[in-house]
Structure 1
Amino acid sequence: MSQHKVVLLLGSNIGNQKNNIDMALTKISEASSILKKSEYLTSEPVEFASSNIFCNIAIIISTHLSPIQLLDYVKKIEIEMGRLTDSTISKVYTDRIIDIDIVKYGELKFLSERLEIPHNKHLFEREFSKILLKDFI
């Protein structure tokens, strides 16, 4: 099986945000190798109003999972950790215990109803993402 380098962004703004991210990192490492991690960064919510601040991190993983398999895997982690709504489906951003986004998957360009690679909002529009990704892209 071939390995793919993938950039993920993780964020949390409910409960102990850093612990939530660390728990998600542990779960991700059960199926993929974490090659690199950014520093943790706090940021204001983007595209919705909340008084809860986000903690965010960027990572590079090596995985044998296809883009859709990886998406299914990270969505499973989100649900296991207690995330109740998926903004891809609801089209509404809300507070969340964990959010895991696939930002890049090698040099692949992919578009479906569930997944867009690369994740252009993170690459080009969101300031916190650009800060986290500056040494990754």
Structure 2
Amino acid sequence: MSQQKVVLLLGSNLGEQKKNIELALQKIQEAGNNISQISEFLFSDPVEFASSNIFCNIATVIFTHLTPIQLLNCIKSIEVEMGRINDSKVSGGYTDRLIDIDIIKYNDLNFKSERLEIPHKKHLFERDFSRILLKDFI
């Protein structure tokens, strides 16, 4: 399978946020994905839930051989390995988290399943911090 261009957003609002994101990027690369671009760090308030913990976020472009579902499984595994307990799709709401990794785009694919929607419409069209991070990647 050829390499697929994917845009990811990573965020953390617990612990040492920048280090959490850097570790997640390292694990993404160790899983066989090639990181080609990384945005600057952006700090922002939580969206769609209340917390006194500020988020640190980045966008990144990777190239992967994984299918969308394989990539989702990979990043969910990284989140769990890093200590993420609650997944918003499972718990039905957003909470503070050590790491959050979202697939925003996968080539020009339109894909929807119970676990994954590509493109990630909330990040592309509704969230200001996402649009700032993604402006050079989309």
TM-score by length of 1: 0.99
Task: Give the 4+ runs in structure 1 shifted more than 6 A.
Answer: none
Using the TM superposition, give the Cα deviation of residue 122 of structure 1 relative to its aligned residue in structure 2, in angstroms.
0.2
Using the TM superposition, give the Cα deviation of residue 91 of structure 1 relative to its aligned residue in structure 2, in angstroms.
1.2
Give structure 2 stretches of 5+ with no counterpart.
Answer: none
Q: Distance in 2 between matches of 1:57 and 1:126?
A: 14
The residue that corresponds to 1:2 in the other structure is 2
The residue that corresponds to 2:20 in the other structure is 20
1:60 alignment partner, SS class: strand
Task: Write the mapping of 1:36-55 to structure 2, written as runs, cut at 5 A.
Answer: 36-55=37-56
Using the TM superposition, give the Cα deviation of residue 69 of structure 1 relative to its aligned residue in structure 2, in angstroms.
0.1
The residue that corresponds to 2:121 in the other structure is 120
Q: Does 1:77 align with 2:91?
A: no
Which amino acid is 1:131 matched to?
I
The residue that corresponds to 1:63 in the other structure is 64
Question: Deviations for 1:44-99, whole angstroms, at most 9, x for unmatched residues?
Answer: 00000000000000000000000000000000000000000000111110000000
TM-score by length of 2: 0.98
The residue that corresponds to 1:105 in the other structure is 106
Question: Deviations for 1:15-41, whole angstroms, at most 9, x for unmatched residues?
Answer: 000000000000001120001010000
Which amino acid is 1:22 matched to?
E
Root mean square deviation, CA, Å: 0.4
The residue that corresponds to 1:88 in the other structure is 89
2:70 alignment partner, SS class: helix
Q: Distance in 1 between matches of 2:98 and 2:41?
A: 16
| Identical-residue share of aligned pairs (%) | 70
Which amino acid is 2:102 matched to?
D
Using the TM superposition, give the Cα deviation of residue 3 of structure 1 relative to its aligned residue in structure 2, in angstroms.
0.6
Q: Distance in 1 between matches of 2:108 and 2:67?
A: 13
Number of aligned positions between the proteins: 137
Which amino acid is 1:69 matched to?
Q
Q: Distance in 1 between matches of 2:118 and 2:92?
A: 18
Q: Distance in 2 between matches of 1:55 and 1:99?
A: 10
Give structure 1 stretches of 5+ with no counterpart.
Answer: none
